[in-house]
Structure 1
Amino acid sequence: MTSSIIFSLIIFIAAAFIFQATLGEVICEELQTNVCSFSISSSGKRCILENQENKHGMVEYECRTSEVVVERMAEYIETDSCVNACGVDCSSVGISSDSLLEPQLTAKLCSTACNQNCPNIVDLYFNLATREGVFFPDLCEKQGTHMMFFL
């Protein structure tokens, strides 16, 4: 190979890495733990925060890709304003439908600020409620919050 071909090949490979980085690909395993819980990977799968004990007995947190696919969304990291508006906790390890029994959280999830501006979080809790046989808008109505969903 001539040196110009090798140089061209090196430039091409470097450009490919730079281009991929500029695309903003979201890979759950590469996310910081403080943004993991409500993120969606480039493949459209939800990211989940997991904990495990290391060899020294200390708990470590890791972001992993779940098998849950989010329709109509990919490459998404939830904003701080939505986390605050919806009252969710980014350090949550696993997300359970049990949290829907907490009146303060449900009130925030049902708020206009959350349900009209934060489709990712609303979709997640809407689906959690559905899996439990509960229609999320009905749950909000029982909380005294009449809302319009924009899913």
Structure 2
Amino acid sequence: MAPSLKLSLVLFFACSLFIQGTVAEVLCEKLPSNLCAFAIASSGKRCILETYKNEQGDVDFICKESDVVVERLAGYIETDQCVNACGVERENIGISTDSFLSSEFTTHLCSSACYQNCPNIIDLFFNLAAGEGVSLPALCEQQKDNHRAMLTLLSSDGDIAPGPVAAPLAAPVLY
């Protein structure tokens, strides 16, 4: 191989490493607060949004690296499409299992637009649910079954017994 070709290949390889390293680097501390939640640093650790008091004494947001490692998604920032499809908000402080109590939230999370297309958010809530002893797939199946039951109930063309009817109010007695 000619020396100039070797030099060209070495330069190409070195430049490609440099460009790849600078473009793909995600550091939680460098992310703005509106991209922090649902981001994963290049180290593989989840980014979390925290509050702090700034110099003026006002509460502000800061993005930090957590101790939680995500195996497969290092250097990932969640898309707006997934945030919207899954019904989550980027500027929430902390994530709680209380969100599972909302049928509106589970409807979004279990929708195919979220569950099939947003592995980062699903991984996060899968682990959150598992920590509470709940299976996210089972929760989603239950949510789908409840939705099917409601659709069946609504489409049953009058086969439902009418609800109770209130007795007419008696006329007030005047003294």
TM-score, normalising length from structure 2? 0.69
Partner of 1:131: 131
Counterpart amino acid of residue 22 in structure 2 = A
TM-score, normalising length from structure 1? 0.80
Partner of 1:33: 33
CA spacing shift, 1:93–1:138, aligned 2, 3 Å: same
CA spacing shift, 1:140–1:21, aligned 2, 3 Å: same
Pairs aligned (count):
130
Partner of 1:63: 63
CA spacing shift, 1:39–1:142, aligned 2, 3 Å: same
TM-superposed deviation, 1:94: 1.1
User: Structure 1: where are the runs of 5+ without partners?
Assistant: 1-14, 147-151
TM-superposed deviation, 1:73: 1.3
Counterpart amino acid of residue 73 in structure 1 = L
The question of whether the paired residues in 2 share the 8 Å contact of 1:107 and 1:145 is answered with no
Partner of 1:45: 45
Counterpart amino acid of residue 97 in structure 1 = T
The question of whether the paired residues in 2 share the 8 Å contact of 1:110 and 1:145 is answered with no
TM-superposed deviation, 1:54: 2.4
Which SS does the other structure have where 1:143 is aligned? Answer: helix
2 CA distance for matches of 1:65 and 1:79?
19
Partner of 1:10: none
CA spacing shift, 1:64–1:145, aligned 2, 3 Å: farther
2 CA distance for matches of 1:26 and 1:95?
21
Q: Deviations over 1:71-124 (max 9, x none)?
A: 111000000100111010001111112211121111100000001100000000
Displaced runs of 4 or more, over 4 A: none
Partner of 1:89: 89
Counterpart amino acid of residue 131 in structure 1 = G
The question of whether the paired residues in 2 share the 8 Å contact of 1:82 and 1:114 is answered with yes
Which SS does the other structure have where 2:76 is aligned? Answer: coil
Partner of 1:77: 77
User: Structure 2: where are the runs of 5+ without partners?
Assistant: 1-14, 147-175
2 CA distance for matches of 1:52 and 1:105?
28
Task: Answer 1 or 2: higher relative contact order, Cα 8 Å, separation at least 6.
Answer: 1
Question: Percentage identity across aligned positions?
Answer: 57
